Structure 1
Amino acid sequence: MAITELRGMDRVIVPIKLEPGTKFIFQCGPGVPCFKLCCSALYLPLTPYDILRLRNHLGLSTDEFLLQYTEPFILPRSGLPVARLKMQDNEEKTCPFLSEEGCKVYEVRPLACRYYPLGLGIFRNRDEGRNEDFYYLVKEGFCQGLDSGPEITVEEYRQSQGIPETEEPVKEWAEIVMKKESLGPIEVPEKSLQLFFMVSTNPERFRRFVFESKFLEIFEVDQETQDRIREDDLALLQFGFRWLKSVLFGEDLIKRRKEVPKHKKMKPA
């Protein structure tokens, strides 16, 4: 694989598994000649927490943010629907948050932007019954930040970019995506896909679904949890991820009541 011969928009994933202590060279900023070139023609899926942070930073409702800045996108390997950042309608297809000086929402930039030029994968260790993170390097022909700069470990880079605190709230969501990828081309009912998209993109809509439908008559949700998710969007996300695992994979995390009302049954799958 001719890594060093990449040119222009050529892109390759270096097939080497990186550990937290693995060192690499990278720098990015106004002094690097290719500054901002990686902020165009992106296929950048947004995590549920990305949407919350960007929405709050911009002072928009979720519906307003989704309509103005995103478009639906099907993740290629999992087939699950998410929202991705919608590029501007110009020749370069630049990010809507890009200015002459750089990123206008840098403090709340999406998780994928924070990781670049690294990528994250999750491996399921079946013997130990747990997930293991691994990392890899993404090289693009225009990027000169990988040719010079300080040597830094993967974990030092993650810390410097504020990745742990923006990644932890969506760990369970990432596990859902990875698990669906590992299952292969198994068809998921349209209703389940709609539920996944709702939880992944629109907490306001999911909250209405929980409290204004027959949800609480069908699922056991204690009063403390109800009070918390009624007010706290992040707690609502965590609840939603556990519920999705129950809906998509049959995990017994949000229990169904033994006696479900016969009128207007919900069909999660």
Structure 2
Amino acid sequence: MGEAITELKGTDRIIVPIKLEPHTKFKFTCGPGVPCFKLCCSELYLPLTPYDILRLRNRLKLTTDQFLVAYTEPFILPKSKLPVARLKMRNDEHKTCPFVSEKGCQVYEDRPLACRYYPLGLGIFRNRDEGRNEDFYYLVKEGFCQGLDSGPEITVEEYRQSQGIPEFEEPVLEWAEIIMKKESLGPIDVPQKSLELFFMVSTNPERFRSFVFESRFLEIYEVDKETIEKIKEDDLALLQFGFKWLKSVLYGENLIPIKKDLPKKKKMKPF
């Protein structure tokens, strides 16, 4: 696999410039027996996916508003400049994760996707020739981590399966596509209303559901009865509907079409 270019110390952090495939093997172990246990749970800049928010909100038995206020803060993704929610660290000396205790992660079964991937990173690029997205993986090395290069060998895909990554990744694939497409468009101006819509769908299903059912949304958009019934109660179905709607509004993909007999009014232009 290759070694890091430099010897790491303390909080030094590098991304190893080697592309990993699903079958690539690496060594990593973590747990209470590792001397650096929990050190990676401090000073995190950890964006939450919409599904992360659902899982954590449900685990803590909070409304989405309560969860967002208590545990998150707004964050602008560096490349796409789209607004999301990120996990808010404790206001203590080490800026620790609000869910870590002496015994480790208190929400381990519902921990965010980014935590599950560590020490791997996920990248997505657009294969324009074949018209599809391709995933690739890379290794993140931090100076304090003593779990790397120890333990039995495991492939990237075996690690993904062992950490429950596919279950947490599948519900947000379309959301990731929205972000990636915006990154590919470069530094273009985005209407404030578009940013607000993206943030609402990305962070707060309760508010998005109210928006769908308590505004003129269903008078404007063509939505079949089966979908309407599903998204009334099913938050996962609501997320998928929201991502398709965002693609329609932001990129003109017409996945949730506007009704043909709707009186012509000024509408938002796609990016």
TM-score normalised by L of structure 2: 0.96
Give the letter aligned to residue 231 of structure 1.
E
Shift of 1:42: 0.3
Q: Which residue of 2 aligns with 1:89?
A: 91
CA distance in 1, matches of 2:184, 2:103: 41
Aligned to 2:153: 151
| 1:186 equivalent among 169, 180, 188 | 188
Identity %: 81
SS of the residue corresponding to residue 87 of structure 1 reads: coil
Greater than 2 Å deviation, 4+ residue runs:
1-4, 259-263, 265-269
Distance 1:257 1:35 in 2: 55
Is contact 1:217–1:261 with CA below 8 Å preserved after alignment? no
Paired residues, what number?
268
- Map 1:1-269; keep pairs closer than 5 Å: 3-261=5-263, 267=268
- Aligned-partner residue type, residue 105 of structure 2: C
Go from structure 1 to structure 2 and tell me whether the alpha carbon gap of 1:92 and 1:128 turns closer, same or farther (over 3 Å shift). Answer: same
Distance 2:42 2:237 in 1: 33
Three-state SS of the structure 1 residue aligned to 2:211 is helix
Deviation, structure 1 residue 130? 1.3
| Contact 1:123 1:133 (8 Å CA) reproduced | yes
Q: Distance in 2 between matches of 1:70 and 1:105?
A: 15
The answer as to whether partners of 1:191 and 1:268 remain within 8 angstroms in 2 is no
Q: Which amino acid aligns with 2:256?
A: I
Query: Do the aligned partners of 2:221 and 2:257 also contact (CA within 8 Å) in 1?
Result: yes
Unaligned runs of 5+ in 2: none
Instruction: State the shift of 1:238 in Å.
Output: 0.2
Which residue identity is paired with 2:11? Answer: M
Q: Is 1:118–1:138's contact at 8 Å kept on the other side of the alignment?
A: yes
CA positional deviation for 1:252: 1.5
List per-residue Cα deviations over 1:225-254 (Å, max 9, x = no partner).
Answer: 000001100000000001111111111111
Work out the CA distance in 1 between the residues paired with 2:8 and 2:189.
38
Alignment check: 8 A CA contact 1:54 1:108 kept:
yes
State how far apart, in whole Å, the 2-side matches of 1:2 and 1:102 are.
Answer: 28
